[in-house]
Amino acid sequence: MKISIGGDHCGFELKGMVLKWLEERGHQVIDHGVYDKNPVDFPDMAQKVCASILKGEAERGIMLCGSGIGAAIACNKIPGIRASVVHDYYSAHQAVEHDDVQVMCMGQWIVGELLTYDLIETFLNARFSTDPIYRVKVEKLEKMDGALADRR
């Protein structure tokens, strides 16, 4: 799978481990940074990760910061993107199955290394449900994106 990844300085160490883990499993990874511990704003990284998904360069995205919360907020500001904080097994697959989430956001301060790998694997293996109830809800979310974009 092609995966776009990024994060801020608070997720730097975990991002390095995740990059290696993904590549060892044969995934193609687009690394948008950060590349060191120097401070950077997560909204800048979120724009890069999400742009590569919207352009079709990547199928899914992973954002790593301190808590995952700011990264999720930033990603969800971008029309066409659905992102979720993922810190447990259920949300790792349910976010994709029910809400067609493209970007998982995790916090280095919250999730340990081994759990991170399990969550990513679960997220990447999940597929959006064919159940009409979830399809209708995601269509409504997509319409909301358009309505917001029209006001700008």
- Which residues form the catalytic set? 65
H or E element, residue 139: helix 132-151
**Under 8 Å between Cβ of 122 and 79:** no
> Residue 9 carries which DSSP code?
G
Please provide the DSSP assignment of 45-92 as one string.
HHHHHHHHHHTTS-SEEEEEESSSHHHHHHHHTSTT--EEE--SHHHH
How far apart CA 108 and CA 10 sit, in angstroms, is 7
**Under 8 Å between Cβ of 2 and 28:** yes
What totals of helices (H) and strands (E) does the chain contain, helices first?
Answer: 6, 5
**Under 8 Å between Cβ of 51 and 77:** no
